[in-house]
Structure 1
């Protein structure tokens, strides 16, 4: 534990701005003298006391509730004092200053040997809860995810992670892994026993069961990461294909300017939408073409930058121009550039817009007519794909697009047991899978090298431990907790 973790800390624990109630929180070891000085009396543990909060000169700053939680029965595992006052910014700043001043007074009078009270850093209260074994690292991250949740599904999943659902799955995997490691390493330590370890200990069965269980955990973790992170979807295509209209239709609001003039969109327009609780960060970009306009060229360059960093691309085609040779040639050039710039793992969805422009008397006839045009003039690399034909103007086909976006993201209908997860959790589990795959290969050679098998199992356990924090570098902790708000 670093030296700074020994300092008592204080911060305003409620959001900036005015509110009905504001909270100033203090945490540290043996802060009872500070509680006595601030409140004018000793407080009963975990019992709210209504009293005046006084300045050093005895004048009342405010009246409110004071709660004292002696260690270890507190959020941080240390002594915690919470002063609940009226939620005005000036009042809370005065209370904060009074806490710091009172600590200095105690130190000057020699009434405490504690280091000086200081302002808390972002996430430091939760960091102390982790360091004092009140929560593990996955639960600590879930607290921030619950605060930041942008959908109901994400909030519910973060709450499940906070209660330990994700951590319990990781612990079950770790316990099974430790049991297998124990058997392997015992065989290494006592070779003279001539135990036929591979058969009697059912090492094959245990490892296969581990790998099978891991697959289920990885699937749920990917779903949890989708709920938290969402995916970045970029709408690309030639000018006037209807990209801005499609963004507006998906968002249900007039976010982007729509005109018949080519090159109207000069810069990206972004909006986060929700589909079945999954956040999709949709970005409308400038039409892709050659241009002599300096501003438009900058917009097009930015469009390619967004495409390069996308999780998925919607390549939008204009059905009304699909029979024009120049238009098809330009689409083909864009498709070639997309294939060259995007990794093979990034999907490109082909979408044909402006189905409403056809004169068919029924939606079915209109779709059939549009499908014929697609079948004849679609890019070669989409042959055989089910054409996604829609009208951003009328909304026809948008539900099909939403379903395909979810499928493209890898989303499956969320079960009640889904928990929130982060990209680092997915990466750690992928490392576990790699080590277990290597262990499986070692186990299935004619003369298994048990020392190498034991090492792969050890590395797999180390990757699991990084998720819950049993094995975590201080650098990683700094990154994680620095994203928290101050006071949490």
Structure 2
């Protein structure tokens, strides 16, 4: 019908829809920050025995929480420490050194370490720079299925033994940071890399979100994008209305208000969307 064509040609609805999309995107960004503030980041330190994992945990925690010795296999169980780095709450986990062993207790520690690795938001693979090992080969040997740049950082430890300079860079697509946990060299760069990797930049009005909130926001964005496509590409007013109703329902899971009629009434009150 001619009235429907006029409605679809009108730029007001498109402008309003795009404003809503921008607003939802901004809220979702804030919600991600809020989730980090509420739940924190699960960071697991892993690697071979004597790579300096426990020293790194102690340095980041600011106290001697883990026992440090030159004896391989000292850490036989997982050790959790709650800390805050640049305002970001973190549960830091030290794990047993990964290696082949016949010791029953150490085997159990390694099993628990692998379980923690699987659940980590971020995995720090610590390796001894003085041993001349390829960190990605180590990662391939111990947890090949977790070789993802978004989950794995390579930490070259003991640079004080090699004369290498503490630095931050990339190694075959993975974040690579050279440090000395014992001398606390390069650790501040590591801290900044962890918070940057998490995308942690909270504002004063950050939305403290739960996981279900983020899921609802994601579905809201999907339905708004769907509505935009129906409007611009297919010129289907009825389908625009249905996508907006679904978006409103997704938001209602957060607010507890499923007022789809109010939303559609406001947006389409002055338009004919056809029959």
Q: TM-score range by the shorter chain?
A: 0.7 to 0.9
Name the CA shift for 1:266/1:461 in 2 (closer, same or farther; >3 Å).
Answer: same
Q: How does 1:62-101 map to 2 (within 5 A)?
A: none
CA deviation after TM superposition for structure 1 residue 338, in Å: 2.9
CA deviation after TM superposition for structure 1 residue 419, in Å: 3.3
CA deviation after TM superposition for structure 1 residue 240, in Å: 0.4
Name the CA shift for 1:196/1:263 in 2 (closer, same or farther; >3 Å).
Answer: same
In 2, are the aligned partners of 1:265 and 1:286 still within 8 Å (CA)?
Answer: yes
Q: TM-score scaled to structure 1, two decimals?
A: 0.49
The alignment partner of 1:444 has SS state of: helix
The alignment partner of 1:213 has SS state of: helix
Q: TM-score scaled to structure 2, two decimals?
A: 0.85
Q: How does 1:95-244 map to 2 (within 5 A)?
A: 193-194=3-4, 196-200=6-10, 202-244=12-54
The alignment partner of 1:470 has SS state of: coil
Q: Find out whether 1:403 has 2:192 as its counterpart.
A: yes
Residue of structure 1 equivalent to 2:216: 428
The alignment partner of 2:207 has SS state of: coil
- 1:303 pairs, out of 113, 126, 131, with 113
Name the CA shift for 1:297/1:331 in 2 (closer, same or farther; >3 Å).
Answer: farther
In 1, are the aligned partners of 2:153 and 2:176 still within 8 Å (CA)?
Answer: no
Residue of structure 2 equivalent to 1:458: 245
Structure 2: where are the runs of 5+ without partners? 259-275
Residue of structure 2 equivalent to 1:332: 137
Residue of structure 2 equivalent to 1:143: none
The alignment partner of 1:393 has SS state of: coil
Name the CA shift for 1:463/1:406 in 2 (closer, same or farther; >3 Å).
Answer: same
Identify which of structures 1 and 2 has the higher relative contact order when contacts are C-alpha pairs closer than 8 Å and 6+ apart: 2
Structure 1 Cα separation of the partners of residues 129 and 138 of structure 2: 17
Q: Find out whether 1:258 has 2:46 as its counterpart.
A: no
In 2, are the aligned partners of 1:442 and 1:448 still within 8 Å (CA)?
Answer: yes
Residue of structure 2 equivalent to 1:469: 256
Structure 1 Cα separation of the partners of residues 172 and 135 of structure 2: 18
Structure 2 Cα separation of the partners of residues 231 and 263 of structure 1: 26
Residue of structure 2 equivalent to 1:438: 226
Structure 1 Cα separation of the partners of residues 80 and 123 of structure 2: 14
In 2, are the aligned partners of 1:351 and 1:388 still within 8 Å (CA)?
Answer: yes
Residue of structure 2 equivalent to 1:13: none
CA deviation after TM superposition for structure 1 residue 439, in Å: 1.1
CA deviation after TM superposition for structure 1 residue 211, in Å: 1.1
Aligned length in residues: 258
In 2, are the aligned partners of 1:270 and 1:282 still within 8 Å (CA)?
Answer: yes
Residue of structure 1 equivalent to 2:155: 351
Structure 2 Cα separation of the partners of residues 307 and 265 of structure 1: 15
Structure 2 Cα separation of the partners of residues 352 and 270 of structure 1: 22
Q: Find out whether 1:280 has 2:90 as its counterpart.
A: yes
The alignment partner of 2:76 has SS state of: coil
In 1, are the aligned partners of 2:76 and 2:96 still within 8 Å (CA)?
Answer: yes
In 2, are the aligned partners of 1:347 and 1:408 still within 8 Å (CA)?
Answer: no
- 2:78 pairs, out of 257, 268, 284, with 268
In 2, are the aligned partners of 1:238 and 1:331 still within 8 Å (CA)?
Answer: no
Structure 2 Cα separation of the partners of residues 293 and 251 of structure 1: 29
Q: Find out whether 1:320 has 2:130 as its counterpart.
A: yes
The alignment partner of 2:102 has SS state of: coil
Structure 1 Cα separation of the partners of residues 157 and 130 of structure 2: 8
Name the CA shift for 1:345/1:320 in 2 (closer, same or farther; >3 Å).
Answer: closer
CA deviation after TM superposition for structure 1 residue 336, in Å: 5.1
Structure 1: where are the runs of 5+ without partners? 1-190, 323-327, 361-365, 376-380, 472-488
Residue of structure 1 equivalent to 2:273: none
Over aligned residues, Cα RMSD in angstroms? 2.5
User: 1:395-441 deviations in whole A, cap 9, x for unaligned?
Assistant: 111110110000111112x3322232222211110010111111122
In 2, are the aligned partners of 1:266 and 1:296 still within 8 Å (CA)?
Answer: yes
The alignment partner of 1:394 has SS state of: coil
